Protein backbone atom coordinates (compact mmCIF):
# COMPACT_ATOMS: atom_id res chain seq x y z
CA UNK A 1 0.00 0.00 0.00
CA UNK A 2 1.44 3.40 -1.01
CA UNK A 3 1.79 6.16 1.53
CA UNK A 4 -1.08 8.67 1.54
CA UNK A 5 -0.20 12.40 1.37
CA UNK A 6 -1.03 14.35 4.52
CA UNK A 7 -3.60 16.67 2.92
CA UNK A 8 -5.34 13.78 1.18
CA UNK A 9 -5.50 11.86 4.46
CA UNK A 10 -6.93 14.86 6.30
CA UNK A 11 -9.51 15.48 3.57
CA UNK A 12 -10.70 11.88 3.73
CA UNK A 13 -10.83 11.95 7.52
CA UNK A 14 -12.89 15.13 7.65
CA UNK A 15 -15.19 14.15 4.78
CA UNK A 16 -16.49 11.35 7.01
CA UNK A 17 -17.03 13.62 10.03
CA UNK A 18 -20.59 13.75 11.34
CA UNK A 19 -21.06 16.73 13.70
CA UNK A 20 -22.84 15.95 16.95
CA UNK A 21 -26.57 16.69 16.92
CA UNK A 22 -27.44 16.12 20.58
CA UNK A 23 -27.90 19.26 22.65
CA UNK A 24 -28.06 20.12 26.33
CA UNK A 25 -28.92 23.17 28.39
CA UNK A 26 -26.11 24.47 30.58
CA UNK A 27 -25.89 27.23 33.15
CA UNK A 28 -24.20 30.41 31.97
CA UNK A 29 -21.32 29.82 34.37
CA UNK A 30 -20.57 26.53 32.61
CA UNK A 31 -21.12 27.74 29.04
CA UNK A 32 -17.71 29.19 28.24
CA UNK A 33 -16.28 27.59 25.10
CA UNK A 34 -19.51 25.77 24.26
CA UNK A 35 -21.22 26.04 20.88
CA UNK A 36 -24.74 27.43 20.61
CA UNK A 37 -27.29 24.99 19.23
CA UNK A 38 -30.04 27.59 18.74
CA UNK A 39 -30.31 31.26 17.84
CA UNK A 40 -30.68 33.45 20.93
CA UNK A 41 -33.18 36.33 20.89
CA UNK A 42 -33.22 39.12 23.44
CA UNK A 43 -35.76 38.67 26.23
CA UNK A 44 -35.57 42.34 27.18
CA UNK A 45 -34.66 45.69 25.65
CA UNK A 46 -31.29 47.26 26.44
CA UNK A 47 -30.94 49.92 27.54
CA UNK A 48 -34.50 49.70 28.89
CA UNK A 49 -34.72 53.51 28.97
CA UNK A 50 -32.87 56.54 27.65
CA UNK A 51 -29.80 56.69 29.85
CA UNK A 52 -26.86 58.98 30.40
CA UNK A 53 -23.47 58.02 28.97
CA UNK A 54 -21.62 60.45 31.24
CA UNK A 55 -21.73 62.14 34.63
CA UNK A 56 -23.20 65.61 34.22
CA UNK A 57 -26.52 67.41 33.97
CA UNK A 58 -29.66 66.42 32.07
CA UNK A 59 -31.38 69.48 30.58
CA UNK A 60 -33.16 70.93 27.57
CA UNK A 61 -30.93 71.87 24.63
CA UNK A 62 -33.01 74.97 23.94
CA UNK A 63 -31.99 76.34 27.35
CA UNK A 64 -28.24 76.21 26.64
CA UNK A 65 -28.01 77.55 23.10
CA UNK A 66 -25.00 79.69 24.02
CA UNK A 67 -22.01 79.50 26.34
CA UNK A 68 -22.78 81.08 29.70
CA UNK A 69 -26.40 79.94 29.86
CA UNK A 70 -27.62 79.46 33.45
CA UNK A 71 -30.07 76.79 34.62
CA UNK A 72 -31.29 75.63 38.03
CA UNK A 73 -30.61 72.12 39.29
CA UNK A 74 -33.84 70.67 40.70
CA UNK A 75 -32.83 67.10 41.59
CA UNK A 76 -30.68 64.07 40.92
CA UNK A 77 -30.91 60.89 38.82
CA UNK A 78 -28.64 57.95 39.70
CA UNK A 79 -28.46 54.39 38.43
CA UNK A 80 -31.21 52.47 40.20
CA UNK A 81 -32.76 55.65 41.60
CA UNK A 82 -34.26 57.82 38.87
CA UNK A 83 -35.57 61.37 39.11
CA UNK A 84 -39.35 61.03 38.88
CA UNK A 85 -40.28 64.59 37.96
CA UNK A 86 -40.13 66.49 34.66
CA UNK A 87 -37.41 68.91 33.56
CA UNK A 88 -39.00 72.23 32.56
CA UNK A 89 -37.49 75.23 30.79
CA UNK A 90 -34.55 76.68 32.72
CA UNK A 91 -34.08 73.53 34.80
CA UNK A 92 -31.53 70.69 34.97
CA UNK A 93 -31.10 67.44 36.88
CA UNK A 94 -27.76 66.19 38.19
CA UNK A 95 -27.26 62.83 36.45
CA UNK A 96 -24.76 59.99 36.65
CA UNK A 97 -23.58 57.42 34.12
CA UNK A 98 -26.22 54.79 33.44
CA UNK A 99 -29.01 56.71 35.13
CA UNK A 100 -32.38 57.25 33.39
CA UNK A 101 -32.73 60.56 31.59
CA UNK A 102 -35.71 62.38 33.17
CA UNK A 103 -38.75 63.41 31.19
CA UNK A 104 -38.34 66.77 29.48
CA UNK A 105 -34.54 66.55 29.14
CA UNK A 106 -32.99 65.87 25.74
CA UNK A 107 -29.26 66.45 26.30
CA UNK A 108 -26.56 65.78 28.89
CA UNK A 109 -23.97 68.45 29.65
CA UNK A 110 -20.89 66.75 31.10
CA UNK A 111 -19.83 67.99 34.52
CA UNK A 112 -16.49 69.32 33.22
CA UNK A 113 -18.43 71.81 31.08
CA UNK A 114 -20.55 73.14 33.94
CA UNK A 115 -19.63 75.77 36.51
CA UNK A 116 -21.47 75.54 39.80
CA UNK A 117 -23.03 78.71 41.11
CA UNK A 118 -24.89 79.62 44.27
CA UNK A 119 -28.54 78.72 44.60
CA UNK A 120 -28.31 75.26 42.95
CA UNK A 121 -27.49 76.86 39.63
CA UNK A 122 -24.92 76.00 36.94
CA UNK A 123 -23.41 78.01 34.12
CA UNK A 124 -22.56 76.29 30.84
CA UNK A 125 -19.03 76.40 29.40
CA UNK A 126 -19.89 74.49 26.23
CA UNK A 127 -22.85 74.04 23.89
CA UNK A 128 -23.43 70.32 23.24
CA UNK A 129 -25.52 69.14 20.33
CA UNK A 130 -29.07 68.04 21.08
CA UNK A 131 -29.11 64.43 22.27
CA UNK A 132 -25.42 64.49 23.24
CA UNK A 133 -24.32 61.83 25.76
CA UNK A 134 -27.70 60.11 25.81
CA UNK A 135 -27.95 56.39 25.06
CA UNK A 136 -31.40 55.88 23.55
CA UNK A 137 -33.65 53.08 24.69
CA UNK A 138 -32.90 49.89 22.72
CA UNK A 139 -29.64 51.21 21.32
CA UNK A 140 -27.93 47.86 22.02
CA UNK A 141 -30.83 45.48 21.31
CA UNK A 142 -34.58 45.26 21.59
CA UNK A 143 -36.75 42.45 22.89
CA UNK A 144 -37.04 39.80 20.19
CA UNK A 145 -33.86 40.78 18.33
CA UNK A 146 -31.75 37.73 17.40
CA UNK A 147 -28.33 38.66 18.74
CA UNK A 148 -26.48 35.32 18.88
CA UNK A 149 -26.66 32.56 16.32
CA UNK A 150 -26.42 28.76 16.31
CA UNK A 151 -22.87 27.59 15.70
CA UNK A 152 -21.19 30.47 17.53
CA UNK A 153 -18.72 29.57 20.26
CA UNK A 154 -19.45 31.26 23.56
CA UNK A 155 -16.62 33.56 24.59
CA UNK A 156 -16.42 36.55 26.95
CA UNK A 157 -18.32 38.92 24.67
CA UNK A 158 -21.07 36.47 23.76
CA UNK A 159 -21.56 35.36 27.34
CA UNK A 160 -21.80 38.98 28.42
CA UNK A 161 -24.48 39.86 25.88
CA UNK A 162 -26.40 36.64 26.62
CA UNK A 163 -26.48 37.55 30.30
CA UNK A 164 -27.51 41.10 29.36
CA UNK A 165 -30.43 39.61 27.41
CA UNK A 166 -31.56 38.00 30.71
CA UNK A 167 -30.43 34.40 30.10
CA UNK A 168 -29.15 32.27 32.94
CA UNK A 169 -28.72 29.15 30.76
CA UNK A 170 -28.29 28.35 27.08
CA UNK A 171 -28.84 25.39 24.77
CA UNK A 172 -25.54 24.13 23.38
CA UNK A 173 -24.30 21.14 21.44
CA UNK A 174 -23.10 18.25 23.54
CA UNK A 175 -19.33 18.05 23.75
CA UNK A 176 -17.55 15.72 21.37
CA UNK A 177 -16.66 12.55 23.29
CA UNK A 178 -13.14 11.27 22.67
CA UNK A 179 -12.26 7.84 24.06
CA UNK A 180 -8.52 7.24 24.40
CA UNK A 181 -7.01 3.77 24.63
CA UNK A 182 -3.30 3.08 25.14
CA UNK A 183 -2.16 -0.43 24.24
CA UNK A 184 0.93 -2.48 25.01
CA UNK A 185 2.29 -4.92 27.57
CA UNK A 186 5.20 -2.57 28.17
CA UNK A 187 3.08 0.33 29.42
CA UNK A 188 2.53 1.47 33.00
CA UNK A 189 0.49 4.47 34.21
CA UNK A 190 2.29 7.67 35.30
CA UNK A 191 3.25 7.59 38.98
CA UNK A 192 3.95 3.85 39.05
CA UNK A 193 6.14 2.92 41.99
CA UNK A 194 7.60 -0.20 40.43
CA UNK A 195 8.84 -0.19 36.84
CA UNK A 196 10.10 -3.41 35.34
CA UNK A 197 13.26 -3.56 33.18
CA UNK A 198 11.17 -3.87 29.99
CA UNK A 199 8.49 -1.33 30.84
CA UNK A 200 7.89 2.37 30.12
CA UNK A 201 5.38 4.99 31.26
CA UNK A 202 2.28 5.56 29.13
CA UNK A 203 2.68 9.31 28.62
CA UNK A 204 0.79 9.75 25.35
CA UNK A 205 -2.72 9.63 26.84
CA UNK A 206 -2.30 12.88 28.73
CA UNK A 207 -0.92 14.79 25.75
CA UNK A 208 -3.60 13.54 23.35
CA UNK A 209 -6.31 14.24 25.93
CA UNK A 210 -4.97 17.79 26.29
CA UNK A 211 -5.22 18.38 22.52
CA UNK A 212 -8.79 17.10 22.46
CA UNK A 213 -9.82 18.98 25.59
CA UNK A 214 -8.32 22.27 24.35
CA UNK A 215 -10.68 21.98 21.39
CA UNK A 216 -13.80 21.42 23.46
CA UNK A 217 -13.91 17.64 23.79
CA UNK A 218 -14.96 15.48 26.71
CA UNK A 219 -12.41 12.75 27.48
CA UNK A 220 -13.18 9.09 28.15
CA UNK A 221 -9.98 7.48 29.45
CA UNK A 222 -10.05 3.77 28.63
CA UNK A 223 -6.76 3.15 30.37
CA UNK A 224 -4.11 0.72 29.16
CA UNK A 225 -4.97 -2.52 27.38
CA UNK A 226 -2.37 -5.29 27.32
CA UNK A 227 -1.59 -6.94 24.00
CA UNK A 228 -4.54 -9.30 24.06
CA UNK A 229 -7.53 -9.15 21.73
CA UNK A 230 -9.99 -9.73 24.55
CA UNK A 231 -8.65 -6.71 26.47
CA UNK A 232 -8.88 -4.45 23.41
CA UNK A 233 -12.41 -5.72 22.71
CA UNK A 234 -13.47 -4.94 26.29
CA UNK A 235 -12.22 -1.34 25.98
CA UNK A 236 -13.91 -1.02 22.59
CA UNK A 237 -17.23 -2.03 24.13
CA UNK A 238 -16.71 0.53 26.90
CA UNK A 239 -16.13 3.28 24.31
CA UNK A 240 -19.31 2.36 22.44
CA UNK A 241 -21.33 2.15 25.65
CA UNK A 242 -20.10 5.63 26.65
CA UNK A 243 -21.25 7.04 23.31
CA UNK A 244 -17.80 8.04 22.09
CA UNK A 245 -17.73 10.00 18.84
CA UNK A 246 -14.04 9.28 18.34
CA UNK A 247 -11.95 6.34 19.49
CA UNK A 248 -8.25 7.19 19.63
CA UNK A 249 -5.88 4.26 20.02
CA UNK A 250 -2.24 4.78 20.93
CA UNK A 251 0.19 2.26 19.49
CA UNK A 252 -0.37 -1.18 18.04
CA UNK A 253 -2.02 0.00 14.82
CA UNK A 254 0.58 -1.47 12.50
CA UNK A 255 0.57 -5.09 11.27
CA UNK A 256 3.40 -6.66 13.26
CA UNK A 257 2.97 -9.83 15.27
CA UNK A 258 2.33 -7.83 18.44
CA UNK A 259 0.28 -5.05 16.81
CA UNK A 260 -3.26 -6.22 17.48
CA UNK A 261 -5.29 -3.00 17.40
CA UNK A 262 -6.02 -2.85 13.70
CA UNK A 263 -6.89 -6.51 13.28
CA UNK A 264 -9.02 -6.53 16.44
CA UNK A 265 -11.01 -3.47 15.36
CA UNK A 266 -11.49 -4.80 11.85
CA UNK A 267 -12.67 -8.08 13.36
CA UNK A 268 -15.19 -6.09 15.44
CA UNK A 269 -16.61 -4.48 12.30
CA UNK A 270 -14.44 -1.42 11.73
CA UNK A 271 -14.34 -0.20 8.14
CA UNK A 272 -10.67 0.61 7.58
CA UNK A 273 -10.33 3.68 5.36
CA UNK A 274 -6.54 3.97 5.26
CA UNK A 275 -3.35 3.64 7.24
CA UNK A 276 0.25 4.76 6.67
CA UNK A 277 0.78 8.43 5.85
CA UNK A 278 3.60 10.05 3.89
CA UNK A 279 4.81 12.03 6.89
CA UNK A 280 7.59 11.98 9.45
CA UNK A 281 7.05 11.48 12.31
CA UNK A 282 3.70 9.67 12.25
CA UNK A 283 3.69 7.28 9.29
CA UNK A 284 1.70 4.44 10.95
CA UNK A 285 -1.57 6.38 11.31
CA UNK A 286 -4.85 4.46 10.99
CA UNK A 287 -8.28 5.86 10.12
CA UNK A 288 -11.57 3.99 10.06
CA UNK A 289 -15.17 3.94 11.25
CA UNK A 290 -17.01 1.58 13.56
CA UNK A 291 -20.72 2.35 13.43
CA UNK A 292 -21.18 5.99 14.45
CA UNK A 293 -17.70 6.17 15.95
CA UNK A 294 -14.70 7.38 13.99
CA UNK A 295 -11.46 5.60 14.76
CA UNK A 296 -8.09 7.29 14.77
CA UNK A 297 -5.13 5.02 15.45
CA UNK A 298 -2.10 7.07 16.44
CA UNK A 299 1.52 5.84 16.56
CA UNK A 300 2.95 4.74 19.88
CA UNK A 301 6.01 7.00 19.85
CA UNK A 302 5.15 10.10 21.90
CA UNK A 303 6.22 12.76 19.38
CA UNK A 304 4.61 10.90 16.48
CA UNK A 305 1.43 10.67 18.51
CA UNK A 306 1.41 14.38 19.37
CA UNK A 307 2.15 15.52 15.82
CA UNK A 308 -0.63 13.31 14.46
CA UNK A 309 -2.90 14.55 17.22
CA UNK A 310 -2.41 18.15 16.13
CA UNK A 311 -2.72 17.40 12.42
CA UNK A 312 -5.66 14.99 12.53
CA UNK A 313 -7.37 14.75 15.91
CA UNK A 314 -7.66 18.51 16.49
CA UNK A 315 -9.45 19.29 13.18
CA UNK A 316 -11.65 16.21 13.59
CA UNK A 317 -12.78 17.28 17.08
CA UNK A 318 -13.48 20.79 15.81
CA UNK A 319 -15.47 19.49 12.82
CA UNK A 320 -17.61 17.22 15.00
CA UNK A 321 -18.10 20.07 17.48
CA UNK A 322 -19.42 22.57 14.88
CA UNK A 323 -16.23 24.65 15.07
CA UNK A 324 -13.93 26.09 12.43
CA UNK A 325 -10.56 24.51 11.81
CA UNK A 326 -7.71 26.31 13.56
CA UNK A 327 -4.99 27.78 11.37
CA UNK A 328 -1.67 26.98 13.03
CA UNK A 329 0.48 27.70 9.97
CA UNK A 330 2.76 30.72 9.78
CA UNK A 331 5.82 31.92 7.88
CA UNK A 332 9.39 32.05 9.15
CA UNK A 333 12.98 31.78 7.97
CA UNK A 334 15.36 28.97 8.84
CA UNK A 335 18.16 29.77 11.27
CA UNK A 336 20.30 27.01 9.79
CA UNK A 337 20.53 24.97 6.63
CA UNK A 338 18.08 22.10 6.10
CA UNK A 339 18.88 19.02 4.00
CA UNK A 340 16.88 17.95 0.96
CA UNK A 341 13.77 15.96 1.85
CA UNK A 342 12.62 12.52 0.67
CA UNK A 343 9.09 11.43 -0.29
CA UNK A 344 7.59 12.05 3.16
CA UNK A 345 6.43 15.40 4.58
CA UNK A 346 8.61 16.31 7.54
CA UNK A 347 7.55 18.06 10.75
CA UNK A 348 10.75 19.25 12.40
CA UNK A 349 10.75 20.42 16.01
CA UNK A 350 12.14 23.94 16.36
CA UNK A 351 12.59 26.94 18.63
CA UNK A 352 11.42 30.36 17.46
CA UNK A 353 13.07 33.76 17.82
CA UNK A 354 11.77 37.16 16.75
CA UNK A 355 14.24 39.05 14.55
CA UNK A 356 14.65 42.86 14.70
CA UNK A 357 12.71 43.19 11.45
CA UNK A 358 9.76 41.31 12.99
CA UNK A 359 10.22 38.03 11.14
CA UNK A 360 10.30 34.69 12.95
CA UNK A 361 13.45 32.61 12.84
CA UNK A 362 13.14 28.83 13.33
CA UNK A 363 16.05 26.85 14.77
CA UNK A 364 15.65 23.10 14.31
CA UNK A 365 16.69 20.81 17.14
CA UNK A 366 19.68 18.71 16.17
CA UNK A 367 18.06 15.42 17.17
CA UNK A 368 14.57 14.63 15.88
CA UNK A 369 13.97 11.07 17.15
CA UNK A 370 10.23 10.49 17.53
CA UNK A 371 10.63 9.07 21.03
CA UNK A 372 12.18 12.28 22.43
CA UNK A 373 9.44 14.03 24.36
CA UNK A 374 11.73 16.68 25.86
CA UNK A 375 12.47 18.37 22.55
CA UNK A 376 8.75 18.52 21.73
CA UNK A 377 8.06 20.14 25.10
CA UNK A 378 10.78 22.72 24.40
CA UNK A 379 9.60 23.41 20.84
CA UNK A 380 7.60 26.44 19.79
CA UNK A 381 6.80 25.18 16.30
CA UNK A 382 7.29 22.46 13.71
CA UNK A 383 9.09 23.33 10.48
CA UNK A 384 7.01 21.81 7.66
CA UNK A 385 9.10 20.34 4.86
CA UNK A 386 7.17 19.21 1.79
CA UNK A 387 8.01 15.90 0.09
CA UNK A 388 11.02 16.22 -2.20
CA UNK A 389 11.82 19.70 -0.90
CA UNK A 390 15.33 20.75 -2.01
CA UNK A 391 18.09 21.68 0.39
CA UNK A 392 17.39 25.00 2.12
CA UNK A 393 20.15 27.42 3.04
CA UNK A 394 20.14 29.33 6.31
CA UNK A 395 17.79 32.30 6.00
CA UNK A 396 15.48 30.54 3.56
CA UNK A 397 11.73 31.06 3.93
CA UNK A 398 9.83 28.17 5.47
CA UNK A 399 6.37 27.22 6.70
CA UNK A 400 5.94 26.48 10.37
CA UNK A 401 3.13 24.91 12.39
CA UNK A 402 2.77 26.83 15.65
CA UNK A 403 2.58 24.75 18.81
CA UNK A 404 2.00 27.71 21.13
What pLDDT, in 10s, does the model give residues 158-190? 999 999 999 999 999 999 999 999 999 999 999
Of 242, 174, 150, the closest CA to residue 25 belongs to: 174
Q: Does 290 map to a domain?
A: yes
pLDDT (0 to 100) of residue 256: 56
Determine the Cα–Cα distance for residues 192 and 203; give it in Å rounded to an integer: 12
198 with 95, same domain: the answer is no
Same structural domain, 235 and 286: yes
pLDDT at residue 371 in the model: 86
Residues 6+ positions from 168 with CB-CB distance below 8 Å = 27, 28
Domain-embedded: residue 287: yes
| CATH code, 128 | 2.170.190.11
Tell which of 107, 135, 163 closes a domain: 135
Rounded Cα–Cα distance for residues 395 and 112 (Å):
57
Q: Give the per-residue pLDDT at 1.
A: 59
> Can you give the pLDDT at residue 353?
97
Residue 258 has pLDDT above 60, yes or no: no
167 & 180 share domain: no
Q: Report the Cα 190 to chain-centroid distance in Å.
A: 28
Q: Collapsing DSSP states into helix, strand and coil, what is residue 394?
A: coil
Prediction pTM value = 0.89
Q: Are residues 41 and 153 in the same domain?
A: yes
- pLDDT of res. 253: 65
Q: What is the pLDDT of residues 226-236, one digit of tens each?
A: 999 999 999 99
pLDDT of residue 271: 96
Does residue 82 belong to any structural domain of this protein?
yes
Please tell me whether residues 67 and 148 are part of one structural domain. Answer: no
Q: What is the pLDDT of residue 394?
A: 97
In a domain, 218, yes or no: yes
Same-domain check for residues 267 and 208: yes
The reported pLDDT for the residue numbered 370 is: 87
Number of domains in the chain: 4
CATH number assigned to the domain comprising residue 271? 3.40.980.10
Q: Which domain covers residue 272, as residue numbers?
A: 6-21+175-320
Residues 387, 261 within the same domain: no
Burial letters for 155-191: b for 16+ Cβ neighbours within 10 Å, e otherwise?
eeebbebbebbebeebbbbbbbbbbbbbbbebbbeee
Give the residue with greater pLDDT, 111 vs 255.
111
Say if 295 falls within a structural domain: yes
Residue 176 · residue 242 · CB < 8 Å: no
Question: What distance in Å separates the CA atoms of residue 385 and residue 341, rounded to the nearest whole number?
Answer: 7
Mean of pLDDT over the chain = 95
Q: What is the CATH number of the domain that holds 158?
A: 3.90.105.10
Q: Sort 286 into a burial class: Cβ within 10 Å, 0-12 / 13-18 / 19+.
A: buried
Same domain flag for 247 and 222? yes
Please state, in angstroms and as integers, the Cα–Cα distance from residue 218 to each residue in 34, 151, 180, 315, following that order. Answer: 12, 18, 11, 15
In a domain, 1, yes or no: no
Q: Is 150 left (phi over 0), alpha (psi -120 to 50) or beta?
A: beta
38 and 97 together in one domain: no
Do 298 and 181 reside in the same domain of the chain?
A: yes
Domain end, chosen from 320, 349, 377, is at: 320
Question: Is the pLDDT at 276 greater than 70, yes or no?
Answer: yes
> Do strands 286-290 and 271-275 pair parallel, antiparallel, or not at all (unpaired)?
antiparallel
The answer on 219 and 85 residing in a single domain is: no
Q: What is the pLDDT of residues 27-81, one digit of tens each?
A: 999 999 999 999 999 999 999 999 999 999 999 999 999 999 999 999 999 999 9
Distances 292 to 18, 308, 372 between C-alpha atoms, Å: 8, 22, 35
Q: Same structural domain for residues 275 and 154? A: no
Any domain includes 275:
yes
- Position 275 scores a pLDDT of 87
Among 292, 320, 348, which residue terminates a domain?
Answer: 320
Strands of 337-386 (E only): list them. 345-354, 360-364, 381-385
Amino acid sequence: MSLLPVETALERLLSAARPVTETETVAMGDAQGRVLARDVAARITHPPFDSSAMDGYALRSDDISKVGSIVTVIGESAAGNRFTGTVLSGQAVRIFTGAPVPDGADTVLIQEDAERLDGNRIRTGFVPAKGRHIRPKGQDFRQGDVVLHAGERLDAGRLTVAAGMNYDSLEVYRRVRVAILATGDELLPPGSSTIGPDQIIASNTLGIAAIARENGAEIIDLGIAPDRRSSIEERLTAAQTAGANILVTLGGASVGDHDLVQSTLVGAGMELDFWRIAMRPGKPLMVGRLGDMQVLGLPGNPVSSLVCGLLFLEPLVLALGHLQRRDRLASAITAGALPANDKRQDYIRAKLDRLPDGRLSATAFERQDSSMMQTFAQSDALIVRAPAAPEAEAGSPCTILLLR
